[in-house]
Amino acid sequence: MMKSGKIVLAVKDEYKLKHDRAVEVADNNLAHAMENDDFRRITKELSSLNFDVVLKQARKQDASDELQKIKLLAKERAATLKRMGMREIDFLPKFDCETCNDTGVLSGKFCDCFKKRYYEILCDYLGIGQIRNVTFSDVDFSKIKDAKQRKKLESNYKLFKKYCDKYPSVKYKNALIMGGTGVGKSYLMYAVANEFMKNGFSVLYVSAIKLNSLMLSYHTSFVSERDVYLADVIDCDLLIIDDLGSEQKIKNVTDEYLLKILDEREKADKPVFVTTNLNEEQLKNSYNERVFSRLFNVNKTIISNIDGNDLRLF
């Protein structure tokens, strides 16, 4: 897996470029305005008057005359700018994120916008960037011919849309979605992932096969290098494991590290969504008791069964 540190550095570079570009545009706008004789004169007078006001107020002297002049000059400056087709706001950098001013950092931590961009790049690297193009409103339920299947799928979409809207204030944190091939489980999770990212949360959508590979790399690597492989899996706001049961189980790896991931995320109160083609009995036979109990914890997990026809045929 691509080292998370490299992605962080790439996003930092992207944010620095974006921040510097916004500042440069604002500076250029001011430089252009200063080429106007009237604007330049007014600006210099305002600067001088503001200095006088600060000085007088520090000495506890009356600065009412200066304040009145500032008020008049401010109106004159605004009128001058209007004639130039400009506004005062043009001298302020226009940042995409008003929370962090495109620095990516807020109070010593990564801003939500930074985390969102980070996971967008990570998803592209994992080959699942298409999740950003799927929304809850994209689904046309009228194309599903079977009324029972249509009703069940529509009910699930409403349930998980409500979950996304309420998160993190939800009763059940995790989700297990069972059902046959092509019934819409993965597409539903694409919509969930996209909704989470739009709301500023980080999402890692990973296939069970890819996750198994990461866990094997974790198991066989030096202790000093291990965090590279599972850090994103454990730290992201929402982890979606797609098609659990499709992976080739590895002794001393699959059950052990899947349990580690589930336990670590439970401690951090971070949700895990799992899709699988297996039913309850098959899952019970495929994974050890502790993993199964985490997946089927009815006190913390939404358990849904989406069955029916293969929707990819429609």
> Tell me: the pLDDT tens digits for 271-280?
999 999 999 9
Residue 292: the pLDDT is 96
pLDDT band for position 128 (cuts 50, 70, 90): low
pTM: 0.66
pLDDT band for position 227 (cuts 50, 70, 90): confident
pLDDT surpassing 70 at residue 127 = no
Residue 302: the pLDDT is 94
Residue 124: the pLDDT is 76
- Show the tokens assigned to 278: 């297996």
Q: Which DSSP state fits 111?
A: -
Contact yes or no for 287/258 (Cβ under 8 A): yes
What's the mean pLDDT when you consider all of the chain?
A: 89
CATH of domain 126-313: 3.40.50.300
Instruction: Decide: residue 102, CB within 10 A, 0-12 exposed, 13-18 middle, 19+ buried.
Output: buried
125-134, 211-220, 260-269: least confident range: 125-134
Residue 138: the pLDDT is 79
Average pLDDT rounded to a whole number, residues 17-45: 96
3-state secondary structure of 240: strand
pLDDT surpassing 80 at residue 249 = yes
- Domain positions in the chain are 4-91, 126-313
pLDDT surpassing 50 at residue 105 = yes
Tell me how far CA of residue 286 lies from CA of 216, 241, 262, 292, 296, in angstroms.
18, 16, 16, 9, 13
37-41, 96-100, 203-207: least confident range: 203-207
For the stretch 152-195, pLDDT in tens is: 888 889 999 999 999 999 999 999 999 988 788 888 998 998 88
Residue corresponding to tokens 């930092």: 12
